[in-house]
Amino acid sequence: MFKLISIFNLDENKLQNLMRVVALILLSSVKFVAGPFVVYFNQKYDFSFLKTNLFTIIGGMLGVSVVIYLSPYIMRFWYWLKLLYYKRYSKRDSYFSDPTVDVSQPMEVHYRYISGKKKKIFSPRSRRIVRLWKRYGFAGVAAITPVILSIPLGTFILTRFETKKKRILLYMFVSIVFWSFALTSVFELFRVRSIPEFLP
């Protein structure tokens, strides 16, 4: 800790404040709605109205960008892990059935190929995603993502149905900015008594 402070020429208070900023950004990138709650219910996070919005918006858009641009690689890695687990731990079915007739005369044995279980076209999770999409649509999913769905989940759903990354970024940015100012404004109405307190 002290070596890090000396390297960057920071005092301990500045370093702790920087760590709080990073923690708020990372938290908002995953569970956006938790960001303002942490700031206003934890006395250590003494951020102004504008700074709170700035950090939560940066965190939310960071989470959106990671999912949009890295989700193909994350999914490939996930499928690779599942395949590795299946090869190592799953019970394998025999490819051929054993002969079922026992006779003394010479006979020809035909082996029947036994395929594995039929792959499910729609899993329960995919059905829920489709129902959610049909109910709310693109704009609706983007609108509820910051407060109801998590940033990664909501963005992942959008990427499954929309190929234009710029459109996803735009809608999610509008949604994140709206909910950030809406949540922080609600908290400020109960805490702020003068307009200058809104300024950084």
Q: What is the pLDDT of residue 97?
A: 56
- Report domain extents, the chain: 2-198
Interior CA angle at 178 toward 37 and 28, to 5°?
40
The sign one gets for the Cα dihedral 9, 12, 17, 20 is positive
**Residue 70 reports pLDDT greater than 80:** yes
**Residue 59 reports pLDDT greater than 90:** yes
Q: What is the pLDDT of residue 4?
A: 46
For the chain, give the longest Cα–Cα distance. 101
Residues 6+ apart with CB under 8 A from 2: none
Single-letter residue type at 156? F
Dist CA 81 CA 95 (whole Å): 24
DSSP assignment string, 15-68: HHHHHHHHHHHHHHHHSTTHHHHHHHH-TT----HHHHHHHHHHHHHHHHHHHH
Model confidence, pTM: 0.69
Q: What is the pLDDT of residue 171?
A: 95
